[in-house]
Chain A
Amino acid sequence: MSNVLKIKKGVEQGVNEFLKFLLESEKVKGIFALRKMNENGAVSYSLITHPEELKNAVPFAPLMPVNAGKILSGFTLEKAINEPIAAVLRPCELRAFIELIKRTQGNLDNYLLISSTCGGVYPLKSLTNGRFKEQVSQYWESVKNAEIASDVRPTCAACEYFIPQQADIIIATVGKKDLEKECSIFLNTKKGEEFAKGATGNIVTEEIETKDTSNLRQKREEQKKEDFDKLSKDGFGIKALVKIFAACLSCHGCSKACPICYCTLCDFDSKTHEYSPSSHEIEIEQKGGVRIPPGTLFFHTGRMIHMAVSCVSCGMCSDVCPVNIPVSTIFSKVGNSLQKLFDYLPGKDIEEPVPFGTYKEEEFTEIGEE
């Protein structure tokens, strides 16, 4: 049970007013949220400091131009920000941010984290399909009825972690039938309550988990199972993997869009993995042929080794893939299996260390002893 600030206005307007209150009362110096860029629906993350600019803020536009976790970590790479900022982001972006902090790539201080129960986002390519506006109105119908919105990112349709338990303030959307009339702002932490003090609206107590949310979770779990099965009914094996990644251009866009892949110079972009003329020759001599560009499967497996344990299944990788490889579904599958092995949920707890790089003496003791 937590305190809920109820505003008798539609969610979008209610939240905008709440953000305006935060700015005007100088509780925060800026708002980090999606902002409308043109009339076609294009959005981009922006830092807003003028209250009148907030009319262009669209924190709930169902698009993710970039995983915000990556941006927030970029702001605080060297030290914490010195003025408080309210950041409105999606649950997976929030988890990515926490995951980056654990990997010493950011600082949580002075951020007020506002998130919402999430209905998913559309692939960025939807912006140009001509019926995006129509899709968005359907989207809100699905969110209200706690259903999976059609045409959202595959990983969103299969995402079970749509309630941002780590956020200071949660805006409830999933299963809220009176979305246009009432806005429920859950004050999830002490910090959240502190900031919301003085805002207009009634305070009641409510539970964020409802029958609707658990229904949606169940639907999405089923969807996830279906996706995984569709990907590899009879398992992968080398043959199937070669087929799945057949079209890979080796553009490394997936790693650049990935919030967890934070390395400035990726190992796979470095000299270590560069193919010199002589390495082509050696390969031809040994195997009788070489794929150009070489080593694509090795790149994807290598990236799995590096980051899959922290994969938050945001779906950025699939979204940016120019040849529509289901990267995020594969990475989710591998990630889920690893996370189960180490009993770890990325971004759940900021105190819990990342499994890669830590150890317990009394674990896996049977290994290597036979």
Chain B
Amino acid sequence: MNEEYMPKIVGFLCNWCAYTGADLAGVARLKIPPSLRVIRVMCSGRIDPLFVTRSFFKGADGVIMMGCHPGDCHYQKGNYNARRRYVLLKNIFETLDLEPERVDLSWVSASEGPRYAKITEEFTEKIKKLGPNPVKEEIFI
């Protein structure tokens, strides 16, 4: 049987918006691909770029960060910091040609269950097209 390739994606979701949004999507029984491994963080500002890099080097096919929309952060400014860190990380990945398109950031509010489902779906499709992370071929890094 030819099993369809399902990428492994690590998702860092903020407790107050994205995680609740994901919960809502589940409660509403929306169809979500089983690719995302969710890690709950208290705020998107808590996502250290090292978490992302580490997941990446450990072989995650994609990493997505989700948080509250700008201006809606539970802690006022965490997501603004997250945005800068994301831009910084993405730029480093671009310079090092480490396939920056495997890293993404999206804003999802607590009421946006359908948006969460859509983003997960789209990101999974994107990673499927890219194929497995080439980092996995390098065992001795």
Contacts and interface: CB of A to CB of B under 8 A. Distances in A.
A298 B91 CA distance: 16
24 contacts: A235-B97, A236-B95, A236-B97, A236-B98, A238-B134, A238-B138, A291-B139, A291-B140, A295-B57, A296-B141, A298-B54, A301-B57, A301-B96, A334-B92, A334-B95, A337-B94, A338-B92, A341-B88, A355-B88, A356-B85, A356-B88, A361-B70, A367-B86, A368-B106
B77 A359 contact: yes
- Interface centre among A305, A333, A361, by most chain B C-beta atoms within 10 angstroms, is A305
B61 to A, nearest CB: 13
Nearest to A305: B49
A368 B80 contact: no
B89 interface: yes
A305 B88 contact: yes
B126 to A, nearest CB: 12
Nearest to A338: B91
**Majority secondary structure, B binding face:** helix
A96 B27 CA distance: 53
Contacts of A232: 97
A359 B84 contact: yes
Contacts of B83: 359, 363-364, 367-368
Contact of B88 (A298, A338, A360, A369): A338
A347 to B, nearest CB: 19
Interface residues of B, number: 38
A363 B70 CA distance: 11
Interface string A203-242: 0000000000000000000000000000010011111111
A364 B70 CA distance: 11
B53 A298 contact: yes
Given A298-B141, A305-B92, A337-B94, A367 B87 contact: yes
Nearest to A237: B97
Contact of A305 (B89, B94, B105): B89
B116 interface: no
A239 B138 contact: yes
Interface in A306-362: 308-309, 333-334, 337-338, 341, 355-361
Contact of B92 (A295, A308, A358, A369): A308
A298 B57 contact: yes
A267 interface: yes
Nearest to B140: A291
A238 B53 contact: no
